[in-house]
C-alpha cells in the first residue's frame, strides 16, 4: 500500500512539474519532465541505453539544452554511467584485455592529461577556452566502446536496434528537405537544379557561389549506403529494396557534394567484396562486380549532365569529365587543404610530448577571424578551432605522439582482432552477415581516417562501429553456447 501511494504521489509531482513549466512556456523542459516517466524504469537496464545509443547515432536529434548535446551523446553517457555503477555494485567480471581495448584506455588517460594541462574548455569548470564538448564526446565514445563488452543482446533486440538506427538516420535529410520546402516552396525544382546561390548557407564555406550543396546530407548518405550492403548481404541479390536504398544513398551523396563520402563508401564496398569473394557463388560474385562496374561507367558517361553538386562529388575520379565550375571548385578545395597541411606540419615538433589539446582560446579565434581577407587567410581560423581535415595531423598535434601511437594501435589492432573473429561466427547466420558488413565499414572508416580526412567526430563514429562489432561477436557467442547447452 505504501508503495502504491508513493508511486501515485511521484506521478502527481511530475504532472505538477509539467504543468508548472508549461505555464512558464518552457515547453522543452516540460518534454524532458514527461520523459522521466519512460527514463526512470530503464535505470537498471544499461542494455537498453546501449541500444538507444546505436539507434540515435545518425539521427542528429538535439535535447534542447544550452550545451551542444545530442540525444545520441546523452544516451551514450547514460549507458556509461549505468554500466559503471552496475560493475561496481554487482562485481561484474572484468573484460579480458586486448590491444584495441587497452589502446582506448590509454587514449582516455592521454586525453585527461592533455586537457588538464591545456584547458578543458568547459563552462561548468569556469574555463576561458571553448571546445570542451569535443573532450566530452570523445571520452564518452571511448568509454562506450570499453564497456560495450558487458553487453549481450538477443537476435530480436539487435535487429530492432538496427531497424531504428537506419530509420532515424533519415531524420536529418527529411528535416532539411522540409525546411527547404517551407522556405522555398518548389522543392522538386530546387532539388533537381542544385546550383543556385539561395542554398549557400547549407553548404561549405569554401564552395564557389555557383556550386552549392547540402553538406548535411553526407551522413544520411553514408548510413543508407551501409544499409544497401546489409540488404544485399541477406540473399546476395539486387532486390528492389536494395536498388531503392542504393539510389537513395546516391541521391543524398550527390546533394551533399562531398567527395569524401564517395571514398568512404567505396572503401567499404571494396573490403566487403574482398571478404565475401569465397562466401558466395561465382555467378553472384560476378553479378555484383558487374553492377559496380556499370555504376562507375554510368557516372563517367553522364557526369557532365548531372547537377553541379553531383559532379563535384565525383570530380576526384581519374579521367572523368565534369563542368569547369565543378572541377575548379573541387580542385581549389584540395589545394586549400594541402596549403593548410603545409602550415600545420611545422607545428608537430612543438606538441609531440604534450598535445595541443582540443579546446581553443576565444581570443585566438577572434584574432584569426579578424584577419580573414581571402581563402588563404581562412587557414588561421581552421587552425585556431582545430579543424585540420587530416587524421594523422589531428592525432600528432592535438594528442601528441602518445595519442598517435594509441590511435594507430586501436585501429590496426581492431582490424586484426575483429578480422579473426569472422571465422568464429557460424556460417550463414544473421550474426555473421551483419558482422561482415559493419567490419567492412570499420576497416573502410579506419583507412579513410588516416588516408583521406580525420578528426574527433570521425573517431567517435569509428568507436561506435567498433562497439557494434564487439556486441555482435559476444551476442553470437552467447547464443551459440545457449543452443549447445539446450541440445546437451
* 84-108 pLDDT per residue, tens: 888 887 777 767 667 899 999 999 9
Same domain, 351 and 478: yes
Same domain, 399 and 474: yes
Would you state the pLDDT for residue 59? 87
239 within domain boundaries: yes
Final residue before a domain boundary, out of 12, 27, 42: 42
Same domain, 352 and 389: yes
Q: Does position 194 have pLDDT exceeding 80, yes or no?
A: no
The total domain count for the chain is 3
Q: By C-alpha distance, which of 202, 207, 141, 194 is closest to 175?
A: 202
Same domain, 270 and 335: no
* Longest CA–CA separation in the chain, Å: 78
Same domain, 101 and 202: no
Residue numbers of the domain that contains 457: 95-150+321-488
- Indicate the pLDDT class of residue 31, thresholds 50, 70 and 90: low
102 within domain boundaries: yes
Q: Does position 341 have pLDDT exceeding 80, yes or no?
A: yes
Residue the block writes with cell 598517435: 404
Same domain, 275 and 423: no
Same domain, 341 and 233: no
219 within domain boundaries: yes
At 228, list the grid cell.
544497401
Same domain, 295 and 327: no
Same domain, 346 and 296: no
Same domain, 455 and 351: yes
Q: Does position 198 have pLDDT exceeding 60, yes or no?
A: no
Q: Give whole-number Cα distances, 50 to 69, 80, 434, 460, 486, in Å.
A: 17, 9, 17, 15, 28
- Indicate the pLDDT class of residue 414, thresholds 50, 70 and 90: very high
Same domain, 419 and 330: yes
296 within domain boundaries: yes
**Taking all residues of the chain, what is their mean pLDDT, rounded to a whole number?**
82
Looking at per-residue pLDDT, the higher value among 279 and 440 belongs to: 440
Same domain, 334 and 294: no
Q: Which pTM was predicted?
A: 0.86
21 within domain boundaries: yes
Would you state the pLDDT for residue 67? 59
199 within domain boundaries: yes
> Which of left, alpha, beta for 390 (phi over 0: left; psi -120 to 50: alpha)?
beta
- Indicate the pLDDT class of residue 191, thresholds 50, 70 and 90: very low
Amino acid at each position: 500500500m505504501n508503495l502504491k501511494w508513493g508511486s501515485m504521489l511521484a506521478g502527481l509531482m511530475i504532472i505538477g512539474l509539467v504543468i508548472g513549466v508549461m505555464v512558464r512556456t518552457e515547453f522543452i523542459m516540460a518534454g524532458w519532465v514527461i520523459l522521466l516517466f519512460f527514463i526512470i524504469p530503464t535505470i537498471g537496464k544499461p542494455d537498453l541505453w546501449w541500444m538507444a545509443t546505436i539507434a540515435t547515432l545518425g539521427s542528429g536529434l538535439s535535447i534542447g539544452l544550452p550545451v551542444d548535446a545530442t540525444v545520441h551523446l546523452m544516451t551514450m553517457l547514460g549507458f556509461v554511467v549505468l554500466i559503471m555503477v552496475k560493475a561496481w555494485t554487482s562485481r561484474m567480471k572484468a573484460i579480458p584485455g586486448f590491444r584495441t581495448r587497452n589502446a582506448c584506455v590509454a587514449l582516455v588517460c592521454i586525453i585527461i592529461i592533455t586537457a588538464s594541462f591545456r584547458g578543458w574548455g568547459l563552462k561548468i569548470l569556469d574555463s576561458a577556452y571553448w571546445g570542451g564538448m569535443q573532450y566530452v564526446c570523445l571520452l564518452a565514445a571511448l568509454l562506450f566502446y570499453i564497456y560495450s563488452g558487458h553487453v549481450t543482446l538477443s537476435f530480436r533486440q539487435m535487429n530492432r536496434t538496427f531497424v531504428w538506427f537506419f530509420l532515424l538516420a533519415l531524420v536529418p535529410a527529411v528535416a532539411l528537405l522540409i525546411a527547404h520546402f517551407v522556405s522555398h516552396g518548389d522543392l522538386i525544382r530546387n532539388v533537381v537544379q542544385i546550383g543556385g546561390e539561395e542554398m549557400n548557407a547549407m553548404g561549405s564555406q569554401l564552395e564557389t557561389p555557383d556550386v552549392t550543396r547540402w553538406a548535411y546530407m553526407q551522413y544520411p548518405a553514408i548510413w543508407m549506403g551501409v544499409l544497401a550492403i546489409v540488404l544485399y548481404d541477406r540473399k546476395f541479390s539486387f532486390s528492389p529494396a536494395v536498388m531503392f536504398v542504393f539510389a537513395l544513398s546516391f541521391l543524398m551523396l550527390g546533394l551533399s557534394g562531398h567527395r569524401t563520402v564517395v571514398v568512404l563508401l567505396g572503401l567499404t564496398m571494396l573490403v566487403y567484396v574482398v571478404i565475401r569473394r569465397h562466401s558466395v557463388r561465382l555467378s553472384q560474385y560476378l553479378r555484383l562486380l558487374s553492377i559496380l562496374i556499370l555504376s562507375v561507367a554510368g557516372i563517367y558517361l553522364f557526369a557532365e549532365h548531372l547537377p553541379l553538386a553531383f559532379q563535384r562529388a565525383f570530380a576526384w575520379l581519374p579521367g572523368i569529365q565534369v563542368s569547369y565550375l565543378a572541377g575548379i571548385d573541387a580542385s581549389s578545395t584540395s589545394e586549400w587543404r594541402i596549403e593548410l597541411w603545409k602550415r600545420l606540419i611545422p607545428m608537430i615538433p612543438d606538441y609531440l610530448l604534450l598535445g595541443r589539446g582540443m579546446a581553443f582560446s576565444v581570443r585566438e579565434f577572434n584574432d584569426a577571424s579578424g584577419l580573414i581577407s581571402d581563402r588563404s587567410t581562412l587557414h588561421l581560423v581552421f587552425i585556431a578551432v582545430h579543424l585540420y581535415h587530416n587524421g594523422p595531423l589531428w592525432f600528432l598535434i592535438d594528442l601528441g605522439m602518445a595519442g598517435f601511437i594509441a590511435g594507430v594501435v586501436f585501429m590496426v589492432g581492431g582490424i586484426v582482432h575483429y578480422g579473426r573473429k569472422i571465422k568464429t561466427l557460424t556460417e550463414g547466420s544473421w550474426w555473421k552477415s551483419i558482422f561482415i558488413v559493419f567490419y567492412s565499414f570499420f576497416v573502410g572508416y579506419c583507412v579513410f581516417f588516416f588516408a583521406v580526412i580525420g578528426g574527433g567526430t570521425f573517431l567517435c563514429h569509428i568507436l561506435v562501429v567498433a562497439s557494434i562489432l564487439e556486441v555482435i561477436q559476444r551476442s553470437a557467442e552467447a547464443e551459440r553456447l545457449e543452443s549447445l547447452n539446450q541440445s546437451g
